[in-house]
């Protein structure tokens, strides 16, 4: 699906987190001379971390361009700057998060989230798909979320945006296959990056006076505590793993349509399909949140301990010369 000179890869949302790590990894793996990896971001003034991480790849196999997924003219300008507007692999990674009681979130903030997470993807695909169809080749890789398969309490709008992404791609993939264009949804579970850290910091500082005291207490005392444990236990080290998973999807001879990066979430997602009425998954989440949260926290801490021990064993093996 790519030319002999190597694929032209365009990635959005590269100022930090997964986008930055993926761009650097792809650029370092590229031999020169080839089309450079095109790492884009809304504000190129925030490109310092990417440039530093890229090192000698910067300007050689990595190029930074401005692209705001909420601005059609910005997307067109970026693509117009690429020879022939030729993109072999689009990685749609730009996104924003939102968590908290629904009553405390403004409609403007919700619309901004949908504009970035969903319509941003639509704008990108509208620009790259026609050329991919004409060439009968290309790969659109969309960084979705496990929350595009299963809604999580207090993530109502974020989940809605990812459900929209999943439905959009699920509908489009059949047409795309007719033109030999692959679409892949990469669905991470918890991943500890700057994105998540900032989201939790904002949640802890937010004003919850617009909701009832019981809901505010459930969110601040129960959800935030348990969610932090989930991300610490299941999300630690997942940033690097997520990059590895995404690379496998990009490099696959027959790219999968859906690929989950954290197997710990697979059983919960499976419950939804096991019972079409929704009663099973709803009951399971209700009990986890309101009845067995202490058991949940204990289990997550046990996972952290096991991972810590595994890391110590690996470190000891390296010291002894074992790989």
Residue 25 marked in a binding site: yes
H/E element, 10: strand 9-11
Residue 38 marked in a binding site: yes
CA 54 – CA 58 distance, rounded (Å):
6
Residue 15 marked in a binding site: yes
Residue 291 marked in a binding site: no
Would you say 79 and 87 are in contact if contact means Cβ atoms under 8 Å apart?
yes
Residue 14 marked in a binding site: yes
Helices (H), 86-119: 107-114
The helix/strand/coil state of 235 is coil
The helix/strand/coil state of 155 is coil
Would you say 264 and 231 are in contact if contact means Cβ atoms under 8 Å apart?
no
Residue 27 marked in a binding site: yes
What is the distance between the terminal CA atoms of the chain, rounded to a whole angstrom? 35
Q: Is 158 a catalytic residue?
A: yes
The number of CA neighbours under 13 Å toward the Cβ of 40 is 26
Residue 247 marked in a binding site: no
Residue 18 marked in a binding site: yes
Residue 78 marked in a binding site: no
CA 29 – CA 277 distance, rounded (Å):
47
Active-site hit among 158, 200, 265, 292: 158
- For residue 21, whether the previous peptide bond is cis, meaning omega lies within 30 degrees of 0, is no
Residue 303 marked in a binding site: no
Residue 16 marked in a binding site: yes
Residue positions forming the annotated binding site for NADP(+): 13-42, 68, 162
Residue positions forming the annotated binding site: 13-42, 68, 145, 162
Residues with catalytic function: 158
Residue positions forming the annotated binding site for substrate: 145
């Amino acid at each position: 699906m790519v030319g002999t000179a190597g694929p032209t890869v365009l990635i959005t949302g590269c100022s930090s987190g997964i986008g930055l790590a993926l761009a650097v990894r792809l650029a370092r793996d590229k031999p020169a001379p080839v089309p450079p990896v095109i790492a884009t971001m809304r504000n190129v003034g925030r490109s310092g971390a990417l440039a530093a991480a890229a090192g000698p790849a910067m300007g050689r196999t990595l190029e930074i361009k401005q692209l705001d997924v909420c601005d059609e003219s910005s997307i067109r300008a970026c693509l117009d700057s690429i020879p022939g507007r030729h993109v072999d692999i689009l990685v749609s990674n730009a996104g924003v998060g939102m968590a908290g009681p629904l009553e405390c979130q403004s409609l403007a903030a919700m619309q901004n989230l949908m504009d970035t997470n969903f319509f941003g993807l639509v704008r990108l695909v509208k620009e790259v798909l026609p050329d991919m169809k004409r060439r009968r080749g290309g790969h659109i890789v969309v960084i979705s979320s496990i929350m595009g398969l299963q809604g999580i309490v207090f993530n109502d709008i974020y989940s809605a945006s990812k459900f929209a992404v999943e439905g959009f791609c699920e509908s489009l993939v059949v047409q795309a296959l007719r033109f030999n264009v692959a679409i892949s949804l990469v669905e991470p579970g918890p991943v500890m990056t700057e994105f998540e850290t900032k989201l939790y910091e904002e949640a802890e500082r937010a004003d919850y006076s617009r909701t009832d005291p019981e809901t505010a207490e459930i969110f601040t005392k129960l959800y935030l505590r348990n969610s932090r444990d989930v991300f610490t236990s299941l999300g630690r080290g997942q940033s690097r793993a997520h990059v590895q998973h995404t690379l496998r999807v990009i490099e696959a001879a027959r790219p999968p349509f859906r690929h989950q990066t954290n197997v710990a979430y697979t059983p919960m997602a499976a419950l939804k399909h096991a019972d079409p009425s929704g009663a099973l998954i709803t009951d399971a989440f209700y009990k986890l949140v309101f009845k067995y949260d202490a058991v949940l926290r204990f289990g997550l801490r046990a996972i952290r301990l096991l991972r810590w021990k595994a890391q110590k064993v690996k470190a000891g093996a390296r010291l002894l010369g074992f790989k």
